[in-house]
Structure 1
């Protein structure tokens, strides 16, 4: 005979298995897309930058690649023509807050203000995609993004492009981790770089050109929304203080 305690545990287990997919859907963060189609999403954070972002746009256009730019509201407000240029080229613009705040350590009213202000700064080109600065996220900040209608986008891998590296080193890290359905974290601008030498995005731009030339016959580089539509989005728990 099954005891009431055992029955309660069984019901709890069944309920947990039923609720888990809902939790991943509503509170999970997008980290990749399960697909056998050779598609990859390049994403760029912290811009736009008046010098480096146009160069990146030129490289992407040359190789018929599209990307997703998670822009800072304060930079977008200073570079409105560049924001329009990004959108006109077929790229997607996401929200990265207005001031690049650390979301877990920021009071709720300020988090909402950061998202609203950034969304206004990129209007009418913004989408409901959000990437928290430094990748930092708490349960509270995730719920805030959910209430404001945002899909939170993390990444599959990064190449530490906030540290000064040669194009050879950057390219090796990209090639080693590349897989179909990946979301790759890159930066077209660095906010308060830990390594001042890394503020120069020239090595990354050189790497990007080589990388796209190397893989243009194998992979198609698409926006995050395009990648989501191409397979099964994989969302997982993403609660961390900061990268």
Structure 2
């Protein structure tokens, strides 16, 4: 006779295995994509910015690449022409809240309002992507994003572009870390810069101008939705306070 405890253990393990993929799909955060193709996704947070976002869009046009922009509603209100330009050029846009709140530390009704306000600002574009400001996420805020129908997008790596650095250093860090399927965190604007000098995105724009010609010998830059379709999305538990 098989002990009941063994049956319970085996059945419980089976249930966990069955539910694990569903749980990752519903509550996991996208961090990269497993793909054999040389594809990567550049993502930009906190914009649009009236000066630096157009410069980045110009680089995207020059190198014929598509990116993903996670926009703040309060900035998109004043830069609607830039949002239109992004979409017309084939870039993807996502929700980054209205005012760059810390999701885990914010009450639910305020989180809903921030997500809803940004959706309204960016209408008629249908938003499927969300990135929590500061990368902060709790179980509650992740559930809110699920209710809004969002794919929550984290990142594979960043280059600490919120700290003032020489363009050459930013470019080198970018080139050294890229791998197929990477989702790269960058900022075309800094919502709440800790380093006032870093608010000037000139170094980042120059770093991209340095790195892109080299990277394009190997990689093709696509939007996050395009990257997802090109391979197997890797979603992980991503629950941490906003830094």
Q: TM-score range by the shorter chain?
A: over 0.9
Deviates more, 1:38-47 or 1:217-226: 217-226
Q: Paired residue for 1:149?
A: 149
Q: Paired residue for 2:42?
A: 42
Question: In the alignment, does 2:145 pair up with 1:159?
Answer: no
The count of residues paired between Structure 1 and Structure 2 equals 243
User: Distance between the aligned counterparts of 1:125 and 1:156, measured in 2?
Assistant: 26
Q: CA RMSD of the aligned region, Å?
A: 1.0
Provide the secondary structure at the position in 2 that maps to 1:171: helix
TM-score in terms of structure 1 length: 0.98
Matches within 5 A, 1:62-81: 62-81=62-81
Structure 1 residue ranges, 4+ long, deviating more than 4 angstroms after superposition? none
Structure 2 segments unaligned to the other structure (5+ residues): none
TM-score in terms of structure 2 length: 0.98
Deviation readout 1:197-216 (Å, 9 max, x if unpaired): 10010000001111111122
Provide the secondary structure at the position in 1 that maps to 2:128: strand
User: Distance between the aligned counterparts of 1:210 and 1:104, measured in 2?
Assistant: 37
Deviation readout 1:53-79 (Å, 9 max, x if unpaired): 000000111000110000000000111
User: Distance between the aligned counterparts of 1:215 and 1:172, measured in 2?
Assistant: 11
Q: Paired residue for 1:239?
A: 239
Q: Paired residue for 2:193?
A: 193
Q: Paired residue for 2:12?
A: 12
Structure 1 segments unaligned to the other structure (5+ residues): none
1:88 to partner: Cα distance = 1.3
Question: In the alignment, does 2:146 pair up with 1:130?
Answer: no
User: Distance between the aligned counterparts of 1:153 and 1:126, measured in 2?
Assistant: 16
CA contact (8 A) 1:44 1:186 kept: yes
Provide the secondary structure at the position in 1 that maps to 2:238: coil
Deviates more, 1:179-188 or 1:216-225: 216-225
